[in-house]
Chains A and B, each alone.
Chain A
Amino acid sequence: MRRFVIKGLLFTLLQAGVLAGVYWRYEPQLLAPAGVNLMKHDILERQPSPRLVLVGGSSVRQGTSSRELERALGYHPVNMGLSIHLGPYWQVREIEPYLRPGDVVVISFQPRVFGEPTHTRRDDILYVIELRPAYARFLSLQDIKPLLDRGVLPYLTYVVNQAITPREFGSLRNYETTYGDLARLPPDDPQAVRWLRMFPEHWRPCRAAGLRRFLNRFHERCRARGVRVFFSFPSAPTPRCAENRELIEEVERRFCTGLEVPVLNRTMEASLPMDCFNDALFHVDRKGQRERTAMLIERLSAALGADAPAARQLTEPGRRTEPPRRRGRLEPPPRERRRREPAR
């Protein structure tokens, strides 16, 4: 046994050495999608109140036109649509400290979040923490198990890949508008829209009691601070919704029973034709964006009533945002800097 343990320790030491070598070659990609988190935080802090904060995954990120929302509702929209791989708890926890009285929050999660198995990776949390370690405070107990199960190994895979064959990501300027909307949609992939499943195999809805309790508590805290919270199911292709109607309705019934957060729309109400989608089931294209934005405006106007600020006339065209530099963390990585320096 002793021989085995000693050999095991030596072998572990050798692997630790290789890992150190890998990290030495690895450079966190500040322009990778995780960097968008930091940029969106800066937008959230910068936008004046009252704000309309849209929270969710990639379906939110490219789901609406914030400019239209601003024009119609008078709020300053902040699109906090991030990666689904951050998980619902993280996504809500990371906006909460920045909310101010008068703000409106619209949370939107795909129906598959409310069931099992989710199979969703959680490595994005690690990329964000790597870029800004202080954000570890957004980690909750609910994130630990998925992080160990589906976060660490994908993260290591990414680190090894980046160390061996580094992949450059596009500039942040191309990613988001002033509001945090996706400025340029990814290329169309109609095949992916057709073959991607709405729910994973053997998926079943669960009571999602933990998430519901968490959202109820969040709603309560927000109400005490003068912030209004709504929930909106994202848009999905009508034929897919029809195929999965029974399952979707069961998800919504289970999740919405006991949910204190007002629900703006159900999935079936928000469904859109197949040609309104871009490269995945919940990713709308420009046409889909217009439809979904119009629906949100209608539902939010009705829900907010007289509380909504006056609709505003926009004079300024939707401009591209500047990468935030205040914290000095979003400088281009050294490799990028080296390339920009003129040759001597």
Chain B
Amino acid sequence: MTFTTFTFVLFLPLVFAVYWTVKGRRAQNAVLIAASYVFYGWWDWRFCSLLIFSSLLDFGVGIGLGRCEGRRVRKALLGLSLLGNLGLLGFFKYFNFFAENLSALADSVGLYLSPVTLRLALPVGISFYTFQTLSYTFDVYRGKMLPTRRLIDYMTYVSFFPQLVAGPIERAPRLLPQFMEERRFDHDEAVDGCRQMLWGFFKKLALADNLARIVEPAYAGPELFGGPRLALATVCFAFQIYCDFSAYSDIAIGAGRLFGVRLMRNFAYPYFSQTVAEFWRRWHISLATWFRDYLYIPLGGSRVRPLKTAWNVLLTFVVSGLWHGASWNFVIWGGLNGLATAPAVLSPDRERKTPQDVPGGVRALPGPLVLLKMLRTFAIICVGWVFFRAGTLRDAVLILTRMATQAFSGAGYRELALYVSEEAAVHRTLIVLAGFVLVEWWQRRRDHVLSIGRLPRPLRWVVYTALIWGTLYLARSRTAEFIYFQF
């Protein structure tokens, strides 16, 4: 089930009503599990078996780790969890990639290997929940938490529907304890959760889907367009993916708050970052911290020689690129971001901005230097997005080449001006986008943009009503799936 469907509009109040009607932790968790499996099975009921498998495997491994003291047995149990989860992920996500590349490699040395490729549906959200269950096993293995013996609590932790298919990827020490006690209804949390969801719906339906209209043709046939038009499409993609993915996180976090569950923040105004390293502390925070804690730090992090640190950064980014999908484009995207991040990590006088810091500084308007830094970071990130979005490596190179060589092409700008002025939907979307950036800048101190609890109620209700109907007015008749569902 997708958030942006009428089905979800009916489903959420129904689950909410049943959830707060029942009493006790067990009953609440049972309602959440049932709702989560309906939510997940709505795509394809067969996917539920994978969720059950992943949950039971790590629950069992956790109990095993709690009972066993021997290092070898503990390692074997960890290996079993890794094999099960990464095997599942590898089978569904990477099998074809490796089969095709192996065949190409064999071909290059004169051997013929017929590639055995499988046409499998990638179960939605598999990369998210396998990482979530793995984090539990890692934490139990390292002794950071005790394994739970309550299967129902653990299954709720893995399958909690708001964040099941596209995160935020939660950690067991933070989320699991919330399911181990009865939740009490908090009026202010629920109201603010609704606001956050509303802002998420606006970002997805009014912005992301409309930006896709500008991006799709340019990236489907880049050879047909000039550099300026491709540059516009790339900038639009940068905002499309941000609006799309952060919208999902906002709706997930907001829905979680309705059920008395606090999920971690996933985005903190990333496009106001002044360095690429800061960007990655503000973008997809749950995944970035996952890789930091379970890959970068175990590799040695920044406590090793500078060259090794740079290698660790690069490797972490490449693996995070591969997490997004089995393609060389993602590997290059990860590599580019790793290269852009490494200098900041190695710099001795680095200034570490956390997601809690106000992005772009506390001044109402950014100074020229800050603005330049933000634009530079945005431009570097956009180069990476070209590889992320392009269908093939050849397309990505073509787009970058055109953008570079036709940066001052009069014909290219004429084509762009014609496109923007003739298509009403395009200039309307760009105007809404400009407004969105201003509102985000204005509200960047808050956890989410629609934190307007202090305004008088009539004004708040006017804002909500305008947002609901404005979203319906601006929404495209064809709503696209959330981009991160494919990962």
A: residues with CB less than 8 A from B are 1, 3-4, 7, 11, 14-15, 18, 22, 116-117, 119, 121, 123, 145, 148-154, 156-158, 160-161, 164, 191, 194-197, 201-202, 204-205, 247, 250
Contacts and interface: CB of A to CB of B under 8 A. Distances in A.
Main secondary structure on A side of the interface with B: helix
Nearest to A17: B465
B472 A195 contact: no
Given A123-B477, A149-B6, A160-B472, A204 B217 contact: no
B191 A164 contact: no
Contacts of B465: 14-15, 18
A195 B480 CA distance: 17
24 contacts: A1-B185, A4-B191, A11-B464, A14-B465, A15-B468, A116-B44, A119-B480, A119-B481, A121-B478, A145-B7, A149-B7, A150-B5, A150-B479, A151-B6, A152-B6, A153-B5, A153-B475, A153-B479, A158-B477, A195-B217, A195-B221, A196-B220, A197-B220, A201-B486
Interface stretch (B100-108, B118-126, B361-369): B118-126
B221 A4 contact: no
B472 A204 contact: no
A15 B464 CA distance: 10
A188 to B, nearest CB: 15
B472 A156 contact: yes
Given A3-B187, A153-B479, A191 B7 contact: no
Contact of A164 (B119, B473, B480): B473
Contact of B187 (A1, A11, A148, A247): A1
A70 B381 CA distance: 60
B221 A14 contact: no
Given A191-B221, A195-B217, A196-B220, 5 more contacts: A3-B187, A148-B7, A153-B4, A191-B217, A194-B224
A201 B475 CA distance: 21
Nearest to B391: A201
Nearest to B6: A152
A191 B224 contact: yes
B336 to A, nearest CB: 23
A121 B2 CA distance: 14
A21 to B, nearest CB: 10
B5 A149 contact: yes
Contacts of B5: 148-150, 152-153
Given A119-B481, A202-B122, A160 B187 contact: no
Contacts of B221: 191, 194-195
B217 A160 contact: no
Interface in B346-376: none
B442 interface: no
Nearest to A160: B472
B460 to A, nearest CB: 10
Contacts of A149: 1-2, 5-7
B111 interface: no
Interface string B454-487: 0000000100110011001101111111000010
B232 interface: no
Nearest to B220: A195
Nearest to A7: B191
B6 A153 contact: yes
A4 B185 CA distance: 10
B431 interface: no
Given A4-B187, A121-B478, A18 B469 contact: yes
A111 to B, nearest CB: 14
Interface string B113-145: 000000111100000000000000000000000
B426 interface: no
B2 A4 contact: no
Interface in B26-66: 44
Nearest 9 pairs of A and B residues by beta carbon = A152-B6, A195-B220, A195-B221, A154-B477, A148-B7, A160-B472, A149-B5, A157-B475, A1-B185
Contacts of B476: 157
